[in-house]
Amino acid sequence: MLVPGQRDRPSVSPFYWLAALLLLLLFIALVSGALPFLNNPFPPGFVDVSRPWLLILVVVLGTKVLLEIFKPLFRAGLRNRVPSEADIFALYQLFSYAAWIAGVGFAVYIFVGGNIAEIGVVGGAVVLGVLIYVLQEPLLNVVGWMILVTRRIYKLGDRIEVNGTKGYVVSVSPMNTTLREFGGSLSSSDLFTGRYVTVPNKSVLVTNVFNYTKDTPFVWAEVHVSVTYESDHRRAEELIRESAEEIVGALMQKSRDAIRQKYEFRDLMTYMIEEPTVRWRLSDSCVDLSVVFFCPAYRKGYYTSEVTKRILEKFAMEPAVEIAYPHLQMVPSDKTPIKWEAVAKH
């Protein structure tokens, strides 16, 4: 906590070290005669004697400048991969120790007369490799963002599912996408959970992305009903289809042409369901009937609920149809138990 009137002591800026390095390079250019328009006050032999020491000083200052510049990039690259700032700081410390060891080794190599050009190529490749490794997450996120922009995988307002998370896209930045979540672990339906979810843009490269509203606002939904084997199955199918027709039939009829315009191939018209359709499936103890229909994605929960209620109302008035539910039934054996009687001896 700062005392009133006392200023916080700022840390040394990376630009300070960069300025020191540039001044040193300017000094080396002066004494070596690289700047002929400046008078060199040093004797000719001074360059040969001081060159190794000046190069070592360049290596030290250069290492410091690179670490200062690299520090924020290092934190940004590991922020999504390392859980805490303390762990990031510890990793950065290890990296800085390795950088200083490499810098000292480079300085010793120069002092003993090593070839700077050869080690410069190797050192540059190593530094480049380390940068790519540490910054691979931000780079992948930027690449994913470029794919999002060019291929239009999703846009603001789309209803998507990625990495098991469903939500509406409310923000897209070069690094991540923000979703307003619906469903998920907090809600079994398609209601909003009140949470925002941040998804890295690299997800478009490494996982499936489901877009519910890319071309049209409609999605297909199903309502499953199980009836007993003793029921009138044809009548059950008729009641289920009538229920769906009463709830979504008019909507499907009105929106059919709009959906057809989005088909990539004309043959899809024969495969896509464009009116309420009932499917049958045999189960161990019942017949499963499911009605398939399409409705607006943002009201899927409402329409499935209304269709379910209408089916229950119709089944309640139809004695020939009975909903199946798990129960235990005791079936008596047809064998009559033998009664043993004691016979008295006279």
Tell me which of 12 and 255 has the higher pLDDT.
255
Tell me which of 292 and 344 has the higher pLDDT.
292
123-181: per-residue pLDDT in tens?
A: 555 555 655 555 667 778 888 888 888 888 888 888 889 888 888 898 888 888 889 88
315-333: per-residue pLDDT in tens?
A: 999 999 999 887 666 666 6
pLDDT category of residue 4 using cuts at 50, 70 and 90: very low
Please name the fold of domain 153-211: SH3 type barrels. (2.30.30)
pTM for this model (two decimals): 0.53
Positive or negative, the Cα torsion across 166, 171, 172, 175?
negative
The CA distance from 166 to 305, in Å, is 20
- In the predicted model, what is the mean pLDDT of residues 13-42? 58
Class of domain 218-316: alpha beta
Long-range (24+ apart) CB contacts under 8 A made by 56-59 are 56/107, 56/110, 56/111, 57/24, 58/21, 58/24, 58/25, 58/28, 59/103, 59/106, 59/107, 59/110
179-207: per-residue pLDDT in tens?
A: 988 876 655 667 777 888 888 888 888 88
